[in-house]
């Protein structure tokens, strides 16, 4: 699978609010599927499992079976890849542009004083 196809899967997986909530729930610790299902009172277990399959297919979670339990672990690497490719460079450019505007305004008007000065 190409990098573009992998990123498409990640973006599609992140498009659903429920899946983003699942990833937020897994941020600090792995959780069992039963625990995740309990977080969504309005969804049945089958629906939560479908969302987990989408996340697993996008490599956003890793599943480990321990006995009868299914433990879900966050895999942050695909999100990091999206950040490195899309967010980081765009944010850096936006900050540089804002810094340039600030510099131009200060050159025209003099330094801006804060309320504390």
Domain assignment present for residue 36? The answer is yes
63 & 98 share domain: no
| Residue pair 27/74 in contact by the 8 Å Cβ criterion | yes
- The listed range with the strongest mean pLDDT (4-8, 38-42, 94-98) is 38-42
pLDDT digits 0-9 by tens, 80-98: 988 888 888 788 888 888 8
Average confidence score pLDDT of the chain: 91
Residue with the two structure tokens 């460079």: 89
If one compares 101 and 51, the residue with the highest pLDDT of the two is 51
Say what the pLDDT of residue 94 is.
Answer: 86
pLDDT digits 0-9 by tens, 41-66: 999 999 999 999 999 999 999 999 99
Q: Which one, of 36, 58, 61, lies nearest residue 47 by Cα?
A: 36
Q: Which two tokens stand for residue 92?
A: 């850096």
Say what the pLDDT of residue 112 is.
Answer: 57
| Residue pair 69/81 in contact by the 8 Å Cβ criterion | no
Domain that residue 21 falls in: 3-75
Q: Which one, of 15, 19, 17, 16, lies nearest residue 52 by Cα?
A: 19
Domain assignment present for residue 117? The answer is no
For the beta carbon of residue 22, count every other beta carbon within 10 angstroms. Answer: 24
CATH at 55: 1.10.10.10
27 & 60 share domain: yes
């Amino acid at each position: 699978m190409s990098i573009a196809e992998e990123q498409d899967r990640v973006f599609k997986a992140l498009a659903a609010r429920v899946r983003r909530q699942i990833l937020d729930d897994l941020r600090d610790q792995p959780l069992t599927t039963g625990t995740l299902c309990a977080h969504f009172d309005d969804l049945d277990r089958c629906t939560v499992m479908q969302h987990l399959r989408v996340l697993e297919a996008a490599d956003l979670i890793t599943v480990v079976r321990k006995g009868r339990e299914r433990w879900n672990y966050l895999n942050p690497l695909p999100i990091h890849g999206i950040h490195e490719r899309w967010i980081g460079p765009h944010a850096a450019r936006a900050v540089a542009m804002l810094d340039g505007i600030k510099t131009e305004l200060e050159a025209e008007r003099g330094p801006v004083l804060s309320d504390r000065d």
